[in-house]
Amino acid sequence: MAEADEETLLRRCKAGDDAAWEELIARYSGAALAAVRSALGRRGRTRDAALEQELVADTFAALAQDDAANLRSFRGESSFAKFVSVIAARRAYREIRSRVRRDRATERAERELAGRLAGDDPTAGAEEAERRSEVAAALAKLPPADMLLLTAYYLDGLSYEEVAALVGGQATGIGTRLRRARERLREALGRDEEEELS
């Protein structure tokens, strides 16, 4: 694309022209997709078309948010395709880090929350070990968001504000989300016991 055309397109996007944004996305989504695939591949992730498309969409959302603050930061020191690629790669790396944290939190939740919910009395013996196993199995059945909430608050000791920053949302809603996650854990534990009896 000619430099003048690119400048005009960027100026139109900064002015909030929806048609210009559509054109920008059409022109540069290939560069964003290539950067996402490269970043995910470097971290040993297998191809996941849905994740790749989500990250490409996130890239352009990042360019548009806050009155196009990221777009406005482009100074033309490199090609715009390179600029988009850097943003896309950063979003991919951030997503990988987030998923690794969630995976670790899930594993930790299965171990530690089971221990805390069942108690840490070493005299409980086989019954306690069985209860821990039941809690871990019930945790594994919960949605990942519930596991992350329970682990972050109860095991990691994070405040509502810290949990909100980790999972997204407002701190004022974390208590409600925790209560619902606990209810789902209790339901999962109850279903497991009912299945054993039948």
Segment among 85-89, 96-100, 123-127, 135-139 with least mean pLDDT: 123-127
- Name which of 42, 168, 186, 32 is nearest 98 in CA terms: 168
Quote the pLDDT of residue 120: 53
The phi-psi region of residue 47 (left if phi > 0; otherwise alpha if psi is between -120 and 50; otherwise beta) is beta
Tokens (6 digits) for 121: 């009395």
Kindly tell me if the per-residue pLDDT of 179 is higher than 80. yes
Give φ, ψ of 188 to 5 degrees.
-65, -40
Instruction: Tell me what percent of the residues of the chain surpass a pLDDT of 90.
Output: 20
CATH 1.10.1740.10 residue ranges of the chain are 3-96
**CATH class of the region 3-96:** mainly alpha
User: Is the Cβ–Cβ distance between 1 and 27 less than 8 Å?
Assistant: yes
Q: How confident is the model at residue 116 (pLDDT cuts 50, 70, 90)?
A: low
CATH 1.10.10 residue ranges of the chain are 98-197
Q: Does domain 98-197 have CATH number 1.10.10?
A: yes
Average pLDDT over residues 150-177: 80
Instruction: List helix spans (H) across the chain.
Output: 3-14, 18-42, 49-72, 80-108, 114-118, 125-141, 144-150, 160-167, 174-197
